[in-house]
Structure 1
Amino acid sequence: MAILLNSKGEPETNIKKESIILRRKIGYFSGVSFIVGVILGSGIFISPGGVLLYSQLNVGIALVIWVACGMLSLLGALCYAELGTTFPSCGGEYIYIKRGLGSVPAFIFLWTLTVFIKPAATTVQALMFAEYVVQPFFPGCPAPELIRKAMAIAVILIIGIINCLNLKWIILVQNIFTVLKMTALSVIVIIGIVNLGLGKTNNFYRAFEGDIPTVAQIGEAFYQGMFAFGGWNVLNYFIEEMKNPSKNIPRSVITAVSAVIVFYLLVNISYLTVLTPKEIVSSAAVSVTWADRAIPSVAWIIPVSVAISIFGSLNGGMFMLGRLNYAGGKEGHLPSIIAMLNVHHLTPAPAMILSTIIASIFVIPSDLLSLTNYFGFASWLLVGLTCTSLIVLRYREPNLHRPYKVFLPIAFGVVAVSIFLVLAPLIQSPKVQYLYALLFMLSGMLIYFPFVYFKLHFSFFDKITCYLQLFLEVAPTDMFDDSKTQ
């Protein structure tokens, strides 16, 4: 096992005997803040037109789909709440699939999430943040790509450094930015309510009349809506840092997702009091178009709010990715250095550094980001397999202590919807890129079998690990755990 070295490269003996473990500092309010902060990225500000477009401009059906997406997110989050309270370890779906379905599918998704999906999502958000921050300095013309990418890398590095240094700072940043973005949404909601009171309800008369979308179009509308609800599973990635997780996880999930459903519905209604469905569909940034029409004198508030919203979501996403890598290291699916904590700050610094480096690399070749659309099915496959794991464990290990139990038919329902959302894009518009995505996922087996299954090991890895421990001042999480030495 790796040990901590002193400045002379010798085993350290004068360290205060204190367990090096993640500290439980995230309570109910911060849990709600993390969920809301991660869900409220750019989606509700920029792309509600997607739901309307695939709803055939049918306002009533579009609003129903928004509510349905929220309810699906809530049901999925409740399934995850059972798994999280049963297995209170960082890592989210990776941990549950490994326990329920085995090591191979767990590694495939760890590989896919760590190397591609999560870093690519982080990069997309960072580039969007950079666009909103840089564009005002280049009025009337697009911002230079080099400057946008430099800003994106800078914000990724800043968030990575914050996540390495202090958990309190992370919580403070997340709470502040969540309050700011909720304030911005509240402004939109209040103006919408005022407009309804003034009689601006033309778009709601005969709301369900018009063309009825096909099943395929409803599926596409769900994809658009669920994109805006992404992040409802964030608490499962850092359960080891939650205070009283058996109570706070279900409470935080129900509070946060319910609040987001209400806000999303009211914000869409507010958009429709000012803009017609055709105007919403044709707008690239509906919130900005809405602001130009509804509050022209202070319309700049909305672009600023979008940037704030993206930053808060980016911080939460990076926090999730770091904990996923940390869990992979603890389970032996990633190098041992990834599972170590900084001895001063008790943060998974190596895991965060890995996340930051991969996300920064993704900023450089923009072509890779075009492939992220073809990994959408993998995200829903992950949700489906996670809820399948819940069902399997209910029957295989019925005596497990489960502080919170979800109504089992809910898990079956989420699995059924996941299957639909996985197969829908593959059947509707089969493309060779989906094959590339699947091959990439399976390529993880080239790493799994030699290094995990057959435990292939090179002695120089130990030397590299020791030097990294010295440089980063990190140690294994069980280094001073008395329970391990008795």
Structure 2
Amino acid sequence: MGLECKMRKGRNGHVKEEKRNENDGMQLKKTIGYFNGVSFIIGSIVGAGIFVSPTGVLQYSLLNVGVALCIWTASGVISLMGSLCYAELGTALPFSGGEYSHIKRALGSPPAFIFIWTAMFTKPASNAARALLFAEYATQPFYGACPVPELLKKCLALAVLWCLGILNGRSVKMAACVQTVFTLLKMVALSVIAIGGIVLLVRGRKENLARFENAFSSEVPDVSQIAEAFFQGLYAYGGWWSLNYMAEEIKNPSRNIPLTVMTALPAVTVFYLMVNISYLTVLTPKEIVSSVAVAVTWADRVIPAVAWIIPLSVAVSIFGALNSSMFTLGRLSYAGSQSGHLPVLISMLNVHCCTPAPAMIFSTIIASIFIIPSDLIALTNYFGFSVWLMIGLTCASLIVLRYREPNLHRPYKVFLPVAFVMVAISLFLVLAPIIWSPKVQYIYAFIFMLGGLLIYLPFVHFKLYFGFVGKITCYLQLLLEVSPVDVSADCKYD
């Protein structure tokens, strides 16, 4: 298909392509249904952690089984509360970009830019870490006790990143299908562990049952240790916010977003509890804390003949989580470009399949950069507080919009005190690590976040523009066969 490109300057001096005939009305299509949404949320939350090292909660609970299980439950409830707040925003403002779009609407452009500036550093690094971890588990069986060569891991990680990047850039339906399949596979693996634990518990010996009969008999942790245990538990539920990034592509968002959230989060919470109970049925708390890979140790005890299924399940779980994370990151880049916070090319869609191919290429390139000198990934550990900072700002945005735009159509409304509770929890989780274990790296991370304003002021606020950028944009449009979205879709980000 030949693309006829006529150059013209649009708003902010950006060069746009005059679309012809069949390209009119280009925008993202609503292709994600209820089951796809559930698989994306579950796939984002359930990664390698529950298989490999669900030890943090138990360790900071001082091996107190009852306290640990209560914290796993409470972490699931807090995640559900946050998801319900996001569900109101997603149904009232069903746009791509998740927190970014909501913060921009309620709090303005500068906080939204700081969010996307930070996310463009932390989220690709997280994807790079997942890709490297997948490569580790996928290649380890071939090397036995020997370490896997770093070059091989990096090459495989890059290959996985680009395969998923191309898949997500070519077809939303295929990406959703892959996500559904891999989510089902990881839930089957969790079901094996959970059901195996229940069977052993029913038939269990007295010493196994005693761990639960005297669940609270061990030493009770103090307030700071409980807080650390909550950090570990909430980290394991990370990813519950992923649905809002694709709200623009969800069929009937008024119904499906709340229903999806109310299905996925309780399901994950129940599975996490059952899996932890299964671990505690087979292993002692000390064995769990000292184990390098808890699920592997569990399999060696319970199903030694097919214990290999657990490392395979870990690789499958990581792959599914990576696919979901790359999908949502592409939508964040797309939304940022729509608002003029990233180059205009990133907001364009492929003329053949209406997917944000440039956004996927952009986010995949950044993740690939992190893989090459993988030491950079360690730096993102100090940005952990920024996740809850943005969650707090998003829940604050809900409160602001309730009072500033009372007539905004809200198909679903969360009980408003829930939003206030989430803001308070977020504030605590932001300040606690900085106060309890202050490190100079936290200051560097905070300076990096505010440093985004040095980019925002000239290029966004004062709209500094270079003519050669327009020519490059047009050439890349022709090369990638992409077009700007329909104007009616563009105005919603203003």
TM-score range, shorter chain: over 0.9
Q: Distance in 2 between matches of 1:264 and 1:216?
A: 23
Over 3 Å counting, the alpha-carbon distance change for 1:132 and 1:399 in structure 2 is same
Q: Deviations over 1:59-98 (max 9, x none)?
A: 1000000001100000000000001111110000011111
Shift of 1:361: 0.6
- Other-structure match for 1:231: 239
CA drift at 1:215: 1.6
Match of 1:175 in 2: 180
Per-residue CA shift, 1:418-440, capped at 9, x if unaligned?
Answer: 11111110011000010111111
Quick one: distance in 1 between partners of 2:490 and 2:270?
48
Contact 1:55 1:213 in 2 (8 A): yes
Q: CA deviation at 1:479?
A: 6.2
**Cα drift, residue 6 of structure 1:** 3.1
Q: Structure 2 counterpart of 1:253, which letter?
A: V
Give me the TM-score of the superposition, normalised by structure 1: 0.96
- Alignment check: 8 A CA contact 2:6 2:18 kept: no
Q: Does residue 215 of structure 2 align to residue 207 of structure 1?
A: yes
Structure 2 SS opposite 1:344: coil
| Paired amino acid for 1:187 | V
Determine the C-alpha separation between the residues in 2 that align with 1:75 and 1:483.
31
Q: Flag the 1:17–1:418 CA change in 2: closer, same or farther, 3 A.
A: closer
Which residue in 2 is equivalent to 1:473? 481
Structure 1 residues 100 and 480, CA gap change in structure 2 (3 angstroms): closer
Cα deviation, 1:111-160, whole Å, max 9, x if unaligned, reads 0001x110011111111100100111111211011111111111101100
Q: 1:260 aligns with which of 268, 281, 288?
A: 268
Alignment partners' CA distance in 2, 1:14 and 1:372: 44
Contact 1:5 1:12 in 2 (8 A): no
User: What is the identity, as a one-letter code, of the residue corresponding to 2:114?
Assistant: I
Superposed displacement of residue 18, structure 1: 4.1
CA contact (8 A) 1:43 1:227 kept: no
Q: CA deviation at 1:202?
A: 3.1
Name 1:196's counterpart in structure 2: 201
Match for residue 357 of structure 1 among 346, 360, 365: 365
The alignment covers a number of residue pairs equal to 480
List gaps (5 residues or longer) in structure 1. Answer: none
Spell out structure 1 runs of 4+ moving beyond 2 A: 4-15, 479-484
1:242 paired residue among 239, 246, 250: 250
Asked whether the equivalents of residues 216 and 424 of structure 1 are also in contact (C-alpha less than 8 Å), the reply is: no
Q: Cα offset for 1:205? A: 2.7
Kindly indicate whether the alpha-carbon contact (under 8 Å) linking 2:75 and 2:230 is maintained by their aligned counterparts in 1: yes
Note the residue ranges of structure 2 that are not aligned, 5 or more in a row. Answer: 9-16
> 63, 79, 82: which one pairs with 1:57?
63
User: Which residue identity does 2:389 align to in structure 1?
Assistant: L
State, as a whole percentage, how many aligned pairs show the same letter: 65
Q: Secondary structure at the match of 1:142?
A: coil
Q: 1:336/1:198 Cα in 2 relative to 1: closer, same or farther (>3 Å)?
A: same
User: Quick one: distance in 1 between partners of 2:176 and 2:231?
Assistant: 30
Determine if the alignment matches structure 1 residue 184 to structure 2 residue 189: yes
Give the letter for the 1:344 counterpart: H
Q: Conserved in 2, the CA contact under 8 Å of 1:9 and 1:470?
A: no
- Give the match for residue 446 of structure 2: 438
Counterpart code for 1:162: L
Q: Partner of 1:39 in structure 2?
A: 45
**Matched-pair contact (CA < 8 Å) for 1:91–1:325:** yes
Q: CA RMSD in A?
A: 1.8
Aligned partner of 1:160 in structure 2 is 165
Report the Cα distance in structure 2 between the residues aligned to 1:121 and 1:140, rounded to whole angstroms.
Answer: 27
The correspondence for 2:384, drawn from 362, 376, 382, is 376
Within 2, Cα distance between the matches of 1:18 and 1:355? 26
> Residues 13 and 208 from structure 1, CA distance in 2 versus in 1: closer, same or farther, beyond 3 angstroms?
closer
Measured in 2, the distance between the counterparts of 1:209 and 1:279 equals 18
1:358-409 CA-partner distances (Å, limit 9, x unpaired)? 0011011122111222111000001011001111111111111111100000
SS of the counterpart of 1:201? helix
Q: Which residue identity lines up with residue 170 of structure 2 in the other structure?
A: L
Kindly indicate whether the alpha-carbon contact (under 8 Å) linking 2:32 and 2:251 is maintained by their aligned counterparts in 1.
yes
- Give the match for residue 121 of structure 1: 126
Q: Which amino acid aligns with 1:105?
A: P
TM-score when scaled to structure 2?
Answer: 0.94
